[in-house]
Amino acid sequence: MKDNVISLPGAVRQTDGDVKAWEKVKKARKENRPQTRDYIGKLFRGVFEVKGDRVYGDDESIVTAIAWFENWPVTIIGQQKGHTLEERMRCNFGMPNPEGYRKSMRALKQAEKFSRPVICFVDTPGAYPGVDAENRGQGLVIAEHLKTMATLRTPTISIIIGEGGSGGALALSLSDWLIMLDNSYFSVISPEGCASILFKDSSLAQQAAVNLKLTAEDLMRFKIVDSIIKEPENFDRYNMDECVSELRKEIRSALRRLTRVSPDRLVSQRHERYLEMRGL
Amino acid sequence: MKLFYEKIDTEETYEKKPEAEKLYCGGCGREMIAEVVHANDSICPYCGYLFRQPAYRRIEMIVDNGSFIEIERDAESKDPLSFPGYKTKIATEKSKSKVQEGVIIGKASIKGLRTAMAVMDSYFMMGSMGTVVGEKIVIITEFATLNKLPLIIFCASGGARMQEGIHSLLQMSRTTIALARHSAQKLLHINVLTHPTTGGVTASFAMQGDITIAEPGARIGFAGPRVIQQTVNDELPEGFQMSESLYEHGLIDRIVDRKDLRDTLADILALHCKESPRIPKLP
């Protein structure tokens, strides 16, 4: 990776803030960063994992479960990349196939039926770009997942804990309350992808990361994200208690607010919230 | 306001305008004048290959003569990220494609049946979806919901527009919400997928219709073929992501030739029209 870029026409000069964007992307991808299963272990009790899409199979890159969050029975949906090589392969490196999204939709429908709030953990480089995935309707399931979340008559909270890569991440993010961890990112395309398409050079990813404005702070400024959770120094799966307790407080207060709202109001508020994000 | 192109004579134009913009047929490889190709519904007169069709041409071909009323014609992209080079790019694309943005919206009638419609134009930045494309889809959907009209969307898009970053991505959520409200009013949404329909558009409104039809030989998919090839590290199967393959896999309802689109759309609209039903006579 080039350290001192940039001779791009019209590109902005690099500042400390710019270096930070790329640092954050690297941290978001770090192997030892806590993942969905780590958070499930710390935040919830009485976890019952729900498996399979009832159509084709079970996709381990999306974990779905029912559990207790304090005194609330909740539905958990989260993308899992895996820590060890073996787990990473089972989880397809966190890139869901259509059956993952179908399983997730099944969990969402159940949550609606039993009026359980839903808590989503977003952490994926993107939905899996494979031949079979396409033939089984990757685009279609993401579209349907978005529609299911848009119309769900129960509170939804989404937390971007690592990578928020494109449509595959967006599918789990359409919610009533969107939280981001300080060193996570949320973007339309990976910095590498953007650099190789627009700048014809994937080594300019660092610059693309700046241009894409994909950090939690950027998204807060755009009023897309509702709250940011700070991360301590040396944040990893063995050192996550501080962050978990912040997250617990944030989820608790969001649930207190959202569970008081009637389902009709909740859905129409969610609609208004997104329709107002014109990006202008 | 001149909405439609004039029909032009084939042979004459070729002689008169040697400098005219050329297109190469993806089927037989012949060189042709763009204007002439588009005057012929963007179909190759030699081999029947379907060129990508400009939005206004598409509208002219589908709707009743003079029935189209455009909405939000002048909406322009604002460069929300101050992305390097984006403003210049927009200006170039505008003059090249002669449209303001990647989608044209409005109301029209097809064989007397009223409908709202959105037609994407792949000659403008490959029909990529940024804030304006998303907002225009939202506007026409809300217009249709309010006026209790069916909605026809002609999709043609390379996906989300990178230069508008997260704002582009969010258009998937926004269009989904608008369409969910349209659907909740029990109104009809037809999608016509044309070449190419990929990325964020496929993963949102293009796959949310009640009826989905596609033109023959259109590439329809979520991930781009190059990305897939790099990931699986193998040759892609023949016909992969083509409308014929999607039809086989049960992802679309029918493949319709460009020449038959108007008839097919009118038939589907009539089947959903409660007020003045046109029930076909028994044979």
pLDDT, tens digit, 9 for 90 and up, residues B262-271: 999 999 999 9
> How many CB atoms lie under 10 A from the CB of residue B14?
14
| Chain B CB contacts of A277 below 8 Å | 167, 170, 174
CATH of the domain at B242: 3.90.226.10
Q: What is the nearest CA distance from B71 to chain A, expressed in angstroms?
A: 18
- Whether A189 has a pLDDT exceeding 60, the answer reads yes
Contacts of A130 in chain B (CB under 8 A): 223, 228, 231-232
Indicate whether B15 belongs to any domain: no
The band of A201, judged by pLDDT with boundaries at 50, 70 and 90, is confident
Least confident stretch, A8-22, A82-96, A206-220, B64-78:
A8-22
Q: What is the pLDDT of residues A33-57, one digit of tens each?
A: 999 999 999 999 999 999 999 999 9
B98 and B204 within one domain: yes
Q: Is residue A8 part of a domain?
A: no
In a domain, A277, yes or no: no
C-alpha distance from B179 to closest chain A C-alpha (Å)? 9
pLDDT of the residue at B231: 85
Whether residue B283 is contained in a domain is answered as no
Task: Tell whether B101 is within 8 A of chain A (Cβ).
Answer: no
Closest Cα in chain A, distance from residue B219 (Å): 12
Report percent pLDDT > 70 for chain A: 93
In-domain check, residue A9:
no
Helix H segments across chain A?
Answer: 16-28, 36-43, 85-90, 98-113, 131-135, 138-151, 166-170, 191-198, 205-211, 216-221, 241-258, 263-275
Task: Say if residue B73 is in the same domain as residue B24.
Answer: no
Contacts of A233 (CB under 8 A, 6+ apart): none
Report CB contact under 8 Å: A274, B173. yes
Contact A173, A132 (CB under 8 A): no
Q: What residues of chain B lie within 8 A of the CB of A135, using their CB?
A: 245, 249
Query: Would residue A176 count as lying in a domain?
Result: yes
Note whether B84 contacts A: Cβ–Cβ < 8 A: yes
Domain for residue B242, yes or no?
Answer: yes
Whether residues B194 and B83 fall in one domain: yes
Q: How many CB pairs under 8 A join A and B?
A: 168
> Are residues B84 and A278, on separate chains, in Cβ contact within 8 Å?
no
pLDDT > 50? residue A8: no
CB contact under 8 A, A186 and B84: no
A4 falls in which pLDDT band (50, 70, 90)? very low
B135 exposed, middle or buried (CB, 10 Å; 0-12, 13-18, 19+)? buried
Q: What is the CATH number of the domain that holds A170?
A: 3.90.226.10
**Contact call for A197 and B162, based on CB within 8 A:** yes
**Chain B closest-CA separation from residue A46 CA (Å):** 33
Instruction: Read off the pLDDT band of B177 (50, 70, 90).
Output: very high
Contact assignment for A143 to B203 by CB distance below 8 Å: yes
Q: What whole-number distance in Å separates Cα of residue B149 and Cα of residue B117? A: 10
B65 and B35 share one domain? no
**Beta carbons of A96 and A64 less than 8 angstroms apart:** no
Q: Across the interface, do A142 and B240 touch by the CB < 8 Å criterion? A: no
Could you give the CA distance from residue A148 to residue A104 in angstroms, rounded to a whole number?
10
Is residue A13 a part of any domain in this protein? no
- DSSP at B237: P
pLDDT at residue A75 in the model = 98
pLDDT band at residue B6 using 50, 70 and 90 as cut-offs = very low
- Please say whether the beta carbons of B79 and B86 come within 8 A: yes
pLDDT score of A113 more than 90: yes
The answer to whether A68 touches A45, Cβ cutoff 8 Å, is: yes
Confidence at residue B277, expressed as pLDDT on a 0 to 100 scale: 63
Cis peptide before B196 (omega within 30 of 0): yes
C-alpha distances out from residue B218 to B47, B129, B207, Å: 16, 18, 15
pLDDT at B20 over 90: no
Which of B79, B169, B193 has the highest number of chain A CBs within 10 A, making it the mutation to test binding with A?
A: B169
Contact A138 B223 (CB under 8 A): yes
User: What tokens does A114 get?
Assistant: 């039993």
**Measured between alpha carbons, how far is residue B75 from residues B2, B132, B133 in Å?**
18, 7, 9
Element (H, E) at B271: helix B261-271
- Does pLDDT of B189 surpass 90? yes
Of residues B84, B131, B202, nearest to A139 (C-beta): B202
Compare all CA atoms of chain B with the CA of A214 and give the residue at the minimum distance.
B166
Q: Residue A10 domain-assigned?
A: no
Cα distance between residue A15 and residue B8, in whole Å:
56
Q: Find tokens 């949310």 and name the residue.
A: B208
Q: What is the pLDDT of residues B124-168, one digit of tens each?
A: 999 999 999 999 999 999 999 999 999 999 999 999 999 999 999
Is B97 in the same domain as B46?
no
pLDDT of residue B15: 58
- For the cut 90, the answer to whether the pLDDT of residue A7 exceeds it is no
What is the domain extent for residue B190?
53-271
Do B32 and B88 belong together in one domain? no
Question: Cα(A173)–Cα(A160) distance, rounded to whole angstroms?
Answer: 8
Q: Are residues B45 and B94 in the same domain?
A: no
Q: How large a percentage of chain A has pLDDT more than 90?
A: 86
Residue type, A147: K
- How many separate domains does chain B show? 2
Cα B20 to chain centroid, rounded? 25
pLDDT exceeds 60 at position A109: yes
Is B10 inside a domain boundary?
Answer: no
Q: What is the pLDDT of residue B2?
A: 41
Cβ pair B169:A174 closer than 8 A = no
Is residue B193 within 8 angstroms of chain A, CB to CB?
Answer: no
A92 to chain B: closest CA residue: B231
Average pLDDT over residues B102-116: 96
CB of B210 closer than 8 Å to CB of B189: yes
The answer to whether residues B67 and B24 belong to one domain is no
Residue A117 lies in a domain: yes
- For residues B193 and B95, the model is more confident at B193
Residue of B nearest to A271 (CA): B177
Between positions 170 and 189 of B, the ones with CB within 8 A of A are 170, 172-174, 176-181, 184
Q: Is residue B63 part of a domain?
A: yes
Contact flag A271-B177 (C-beta cutoff 8 Å): yes
**Do B208 and A129 count as a contact with CB atoms less than 8 A apart?**
no
Is A173's pLDDT higher than 80? yes
Q: Which of A139, A167, A224 sits opposite B166 (nearest CB)?
A: A224
Q: Are residues B39 and B60 in the same domain?
A: no
Q: Taking the CA atoms of chain A, what radius of gyration do you get in angstroms?
A: 18
Interface test with A, best of B170, B210, B235 (most A CBs within 10 A): B170
B139 lies within 8 A of chain A by CB:
no
Q: Structure pTM? A: 0.92
User: Out of A17-31, A39-53, A248-262, which region has the weakest mean confidence (pLDDT)?
Assistant: A17-31
Structural domain contains residue B142: yes
pLDDT score of A5: 44
Residue pointed to by tokens 């690592």: A162
A158-172, A189-203, A230-244, A248-262, range with the lowest pLDDT: A189-203
Cβ–Cβ contact B223 with A under 8 A? yes
Would strands B69-71 and B103-110 be described as parallel, antiparallel, or unpaired? antiparallel
Closest residue, chain B, to A13 (C-alpha): B84
> Is A129 within a domain?
yes
Domain extent for A138: 22-270
Answer whether residue B9 shows pLDDT above 80.
no
> B124 near B92, Cβ under 8 Å?
no
pLDDT at A114 over 50: yes
Region for B157 from its dihedrals, namely left if φ exceeds 0, alpha if ψ lies in -120 to 50, beta otherwise: beta
Which of B167, B176, B232 is facing A279, going by the closest CB pair?
A: B167
Q: How many domains does chain A have?
A: 1
Q: Of chain B residues 21-40, which have a CB less than 8 A from chain A? A: none
Q: What is the mean pLDDT of residues B37-60?
A: 93
Task: Using the 3D structure, point to which of B31, B51, B71 is the last residue of a domain.
Answer: B51
Residue B181 and residue B217 in one domain:
yes
pLDDT at B137: 97
B221 at the A interface (CB within 8 A)?
Answer: yes
Residue B201 domain flag: yes
For residue B185, pLDDT over 70 is answered with: yes
Query: For B163, how many CA atoms within 13 A lie in the half-sphere containing its CB?
Result: 18
Kindly state whether residues B246 and B122 are assigned to the same domain.
yes
Check pLDDT > 90 for residue A18.
Answer: no
Same domain for B28 and B163: no
What would the mean pLDDT of B173-201 be, rounded to a whole number? 97
Q: In chain A, what residues touch B173 (CB-CB under 8 Å)?
A: 146, 150, 170, 173-174, 274
Which comes out higher in pLDDT, residue B20 or A212? A212
